[in-house]
Amino acid sequence: MGLFDSEVIRQGDMELMQYNDDNAFYKIIHKQIQANVVLEGEHFIAFHDIAPRAPVHILIIPKGSYIDYHDFIERASDIEILDFHRGMNQVVKLMKLRENGFKLRTNSGKFRLNDEGGQEVMHMHFHILGKPSEA
Ligand code: 5GP
């Protein structure tokens, strides 16, 4: 199985979910649309959110086709998972977020909390939100 292959995933006995490559992040990976990239690794890309909700709002995505966090952890290789999480921490350093603190957030599926929405783009991603330090 290649990294970009779509795959049918059996969730429980009933529900079938399939990765649909008609989404913005798949198009960013495949250079069909542009993004303001801050860091790229073998298995991830990190770029500015198009509608930032913090002084720094970065999205980090795996290059492989995973629907959400659960799908990523279930199907990705150890190398992909490690590279992704190390990449997330590299972005924290690069964007100078450590000193003032930061939030890591992933939305999986439709669940909404208060006014906060669920997952809109069905390609796994984390939001990295924070305020950079001066130095
Ligand atoms: P979700 O609700 O799925 O966790 O968040 C999706 C995020 O992707 C939103 O914050 C939205 O602003 C961002 N987004 C959606 N389409 C694009 C795009 O084409 N480019 C970039 N850079 N961000 C996008």
Residue 67 Cα to ligand 1 middle (Å): 14
- In three-state secondary structure terms, 69 is helix
- The model's pLDDT over 5-20, given as tens digits with 9 standing for 90+, comes to 445 555 443 346 899 9
pLDDT of the residue at 116: 84
From the CB of 24, is ligand 1 less than 6 Å away? yes
- Note whether residue 3 is domain-resident: no
- Average pLDDT of the chain, as a whole number: 90
Please state, in angstroms and rounded to a whole number, the distance separating the CA atoms of residues 67 and 76. Answer: 11
| C-alpha distance from residue 54 to each of 5, 30, 51, 61, 88 (Å) | 34, 27, 9, 18, 17
The CA dihedral of 100, 82, 124, 132, to the nearest 10 degrees, is 20
Residue 124 Cα to ligand 1 middle (Å): 11
Number of domains in the chain: 1
- Note whether residue 101 is domain-resident: yes
Residue 67, domain CATH: 3.30.428.10
Helix ranges, 6-75 (H):
24-29, 69-75
From the CB of 121, is ligand 1 less than 6 Å away? yes
- Note whether residue 83 is domain-resident: yes
- The model's pLDDT over 34-52, given as tens digits with 9 standing for 90+, comes to 999 999 999 999 999 999 9
From the CB of 54, is ligand 1 less than 6 Å away? no
